[in-house]
Amino acid sequence: MRYAIADIHGCCKTFKALIKKLEIKELDHLYLLGDYIDRGPDSKGVLDTIKELDCKCKVVALMGNHEDMWLSASIKTDYPTICDALWIQNGGQATLKSFLGIDPTLYLSDIGKLPKFIELDDFYIVHAEFDFSLPDPFGKAGEYSMLWGRGNPYHEKKPVICGHTSLPIEQIKKGLKTNKINIDNGCCYLNRIGQGHLLAYGLDDGRLYRQQNIEDPY
């Protein structure tokens, strides 16, 4: 089986519970759509869990805009900068707390190597979206849209699986019948109606697998 999961946002207990529910096996493929860090209580734990899973099945992890913000903040020497402030305002403080007393250099090195998208025979997979108005939406010019984009129309025949913009569960279910499948249910947003679940999408069976947020209060 092949599964896609988006926008874990530091919710490590919830992530582990969803993986257990999926009963991941050695031949399964797990596509992770970015935003592993920030907002939730255990960003480091999520990154460690991804490494552990990579020894148990085939894992393809993409970069999200929150990893992009952390990378940008890590190379600044004049903190606080606008970029650093943006990261902190978007949950970066939670990531710093989860790494308290721990050098994140190796984690940042691994994050810097993450691809922005992947193309399968039957799907595109990306964190945010593609901007097909660009001459090469999959190249350097398209990276901003792949990490940060919202609202660009999608008319390609090959379906795209994405996250980045959290949606109520009913809207996500409707989207399964279209060529733009957004599976971000705002796992870290416990007080938003219709949200607060981590979802996995089965690429082979077209099903949604849901796990309610089970993190300790944060």
Q: What is the pLDDT of residue 79?
A: 44
Query: What does the CA dihedral 195, 198, 200, 206 come to, rounded to 10 degrees?
Result: -10
Global pTM?
0.94
pLDDT (tens digit per residue) in 139-183: 999 999 999 999 888 988 999 999 999 999 999 999 999 999 999
pLDDT (tens digit per residue) in 41-92: 999 999 999 999 999 999 999 999 999 999 988 876 554 455 578 898 899 9
d(CA 129, CA 165): 10
Q: What is the pLDDT of residue 152?
A: 87
Q: Phi then psi for 127, rounded to 5 degrees?
A: -70, -55
Q: What is the pLDDT of residue 190?
A: 85
Q: What is the pLDDT of residue 74?
A: 86
Q: How many residues does the chain have?
A: 218
Q: What is the pLDDT of residue 80?
A: 45
- Looking at the DSSP bridge assignments, the partners of residue 63 are none
Q: What is the pLDDT of residue 76?
A: 63
- Looking at the DSSP bridge assignments, the partners of residue 61 are 32
**38 CB-near residues (< 8 Å, 6+ apart):** 9, 10, 66, 69, 70, 87, 90, 91, 92, 94, 95
Q: What is the pLDDT of residue 75?
A: 78
Q: Residue ranges per domain, the chain?
A: 2-212
On average, the pLDDT of the chain sits at: 93
pLDDT (tens digit per residue) in 113-124: 999 999 999 999
Q: Is the pLDDT of residue 218 over 80?
A: no
- Looking at the DSSP bridge assignments, the partners of residue 31 are 4, 60
Specify the amino acid at residue 159: P
Helices (H) and strands (E) in the chain, counts: 8, 9
* Cβ atoms of 43 and 15 closer than 8 Å: no
Query: What CATH topology corresponds to 2-212?
Result: Purple Acid Phosphatase; chain A, domain 2 (3.60.21)
Percentage of the chain beyond pLDDT 90 is: 84
Q: What is the pLDDT of residue 112?
A: 96
* Cβ atoms of 161 and 123 closer than 8 Å: yes
pLDDT (tens digit per residue) in 18-42: 999 999 999 999 999 999 999 999 9
Q: What is the pLDDT of residue 19?
A: 98
